Structure 1
Amino acid sequence: MQITVHPQYKEKEVLIPQLIDVFFDSGDLIVQGARNTIKSNFLGTEKVNIKFFQKPGLFKSIVYSFFRSTKAKRSFDYANYLLKNGIATPFPVAYIEQKNSFGLLQDSYYICQQIDYDFTIRELIHDPLFPERNVILEQFAAFTYKMHEARVNFLDHSPGNTLIVKKGEGQFDFYLIDLNRMKFENLSIEARMDNFKKMWLSKTMVKVIAKKYAILSGESEVKLHQILLEKTKAFKGKITRKKYMKRKLKLMK
């Protein structure tokens, strides 16, 4: 077991192996997905989140062992990059990699601080009357603009991957999660608007975000609105077609 710990948690490193050993037997389940499992537990007296990444197949195990960083390491490294650039994310505690006798990756885990959040963008999508909806969307646009200015292309910028904490009347904090898929590059305006497409925005939400992003970037609001609306419609159409084809294939079986 190879453990890499953030310097601020070095004194708690001895507690991490035990936390991993009991991962499947204790703690509170947060997500049980097809690929990953996330649970919360206590590292000493502090509550943390532990993300277990699905065991890779032989090919991916070779790739992650010798040619590419594991998802756990990327999550840790990207979290540190975000925080260094003033973009909030749950604080990275450690990542763990377990390899077999041939040096091939078997299991990997990422540990970060627990964030007690209030909601995500998903709730705003499903509720047009959500309190302070436009204020939240404007601040989310500003948060994303700051991310883009830091050369972050978050490939999983989707409704459930930004946690939102209400700090007071009209004041919200945003935290990125599920970090292992990012690119670090200068982003054109087209690419910046494309990065919003997975948010599943309504026409009203598109209008609010385009207006705020235009103010921050100095770009034309009309231009941004047109690009963002086109990107959003194209993405929704693609997903709808995929779902339709899946239903057709099921009926044909």
Structure 2
Amino acid sequence: MIKYKIHISSRYEHMRPLIESIAKNGVPEDTEIIYQGRNTVYRMLTDNRPIIIKSFKLPGCINSYVYTTLRKSKAERSYLNSKKLQQLGFRTPAIIAYAEVRRGHKLLNSYYISEEIAGGNMRDWENNTDADQLLHGLAQEMFKLYRAQVWHKDFSPGNVIYTGSAESGYRYYYIDVNRMKFNVSSRKKLMSMFRSMHDSFEETARLARYYAQVSGEPEDRIVAEALEVHKHYIDSRILRRKLKHMIKL
């Protein structure tokens, strides 16, 4: 028997018919796809407002039961983690809802829905004419996350959205937060957020120097820590590519 678990933020209760339709029938076929990989991300215009629908990949056989019994689904964690972030004073796109489709104790489909943030992301920040101000603001945000003991396990340039300008100040929003952890005291884990913010060692060190400024810690220590986790990430990525190539052969 198919069951639906739907939770909608109170201010978006008027969208219940749309969200129930998505849960029961899937995302409409003519909806714009803005990302397709492990998960699929859609952009839809409703009430003259763009919203984002993240459809999570169907879980494997074991996880399809784990996500209804032992752990919360990725959609529910996206919803709850976004709320927790906002409670801690950080920004995320406005939270609309999450929905799950279950058959008995098996999770089938799940969706997380939020408003879209019209802003830029941190990819190739060195090409931004205001890169120094942008990085300084990002370093401040990273230090705030550190002090709040928030570990964004998927902290990457595409998952940090910014709005504003050098004159008015930048505001940073976090997305893809379903794997985020709170109350993390491990410095190693928290500092690992430097690992994949840029492919370049030079730009990673540049961000680390700004972090040292705002944190008051020795620059050489912060840069060394940042480059260490960055190197480990790059080396791991190269190794994975080699292994995939060997398997294909």
User: Would you say same fold, with TM above 0.5?
Assistant: yes
Q: What residue in structure 1 maps to residue 220 of structure 2?
A: 222
Shift in CA distance, 194/96, structure 1 to aligned 2, threshold 3 Å:
same
Q: What residue in structure 1 maps to residue 108 of structure 2?
A: 106
Q: CA RMSD in A?
A: 2.0
Give the C-alpha shift of residue 201 in structure 1: 4.8
Query: How does 1:22-41 map onto structure 2 within 5 Å?
Result: 23-33=27-37, 35-41=38-44
Give the C-alpha shift of residue 117 in structure 1: 1.5
Give the C-alpha shift of residue 97 in structure 1: 0.7
97, 105, 117: which one aligns with 1:115: 117
Q: Secondary structure of the equivalent of 1:152?
A: coil
Residues 6 and 93 in structure 1, CA contact (< 8 A), matched pair in contact too: yes
1:213 corresponds to which letter in structure 2? Y
Give the C-alpha shift of residue 22 in structure 1: 5.4
Give the C-alpha shift of residue 129 in structure 1: 4.1
Residues 15 and 43 in structure 1, CA contact (< 8 A), matched pair in contact too: no
Does 1:205 find its partner at 2:199? Answer: no
Residues 161 and 174 in structure 2, CA contact (< 8 A), matched pair in contact too: yes
Q: What residue in structure 1 maps to residue 180 of structure 2?
A: 182
Residues 22 and 28 in structure 2, CA contact (< 8 A), matched pair in contact too: no
Give the C-alpha shift of residue 16 in structure 1: 1.7
1:121 corresponds to which letter in structure 2? M
Does 1:42 find its partner at 2:45? Answer: yes
1:42 corresponds to which letter in structure 2? L
Q: TM-score, normalised by structure 1?
A: 0.88
Shift in CA distance, 225/215, structure 1 to aligned 2, threshold 3 Å:
same
Give the C-alpha shift of residue 27 in structure 1: 1.8
Residues 29 and 39 in structure 1, CA contact (< 8 A), matched pair in contact too: yes
Shift in CA distance, 201/140, structure 1 to aligned 2, threshold 3 Å:
farther
Q: What residue in structure 1 maps to residue 190 of structure 2?
A: 192
Q: TM-score, normalised by structure 2?
A: 0.89
Looking at structure 1, the residues matched to 187 and 109 of structure 2 have their Cα atoms a distance apart, in angstroms, of 39
Shift in CA distance, 25/206, structure 1 to aligned 2, threshold 3 Å:
closer
2:30 corresponds to which letter in structure 1? S
Give the C-alpha shift of residue 170 in structure 1: 6.7
3, 6, 11: which one aligns with 1:3: 6
Looking at structure 1, the residues matched to 201 and 115 of structure 2 have their Cα atoms a distance apart, in angstroms, of 35
Looking at structure 2, the residues matched to 190 and 64 of structure 1 have their Cα atoms a distance apart, in angstroms, of 28
- 1:170-213 Cα offsets, whole Å, 9 max, x none, are 73221111111111123344333222112135333233322222
Give the C-alpha shift of residue 215 in structure 1: 2.8
Give the C-alpha shift of residue 142 in structure 1: 1.0
Looking at structure 1, the residues matched to 246 and 22 of structure 2 have their Cα atoms a distance apart, in angstroms, of 45
Shift in CA distance, 129/15, structure 1 to aligned 2, threshold 3 Å:
closer
Residues 94 and 112 in structure 1, CA contact (< 8 A), matched pair in contact too: yes
2:183 corresponds to which letter in structure 1? E
What runs of 5+ residues in structure 2 fail to find an aligned partner?
none
Residues 132 and 170 in structure 1, CA contact (< 8 A), matched pair in contact too: no
Give the percent of matched residue pairs that are identical in Structure 1 and Structure 2.
30
Residues 19 and 43 in structure 1, CA contact (< 8 A), matched pair in contact too: no
Does 1:59 find its partner at 2:59? Answer: no
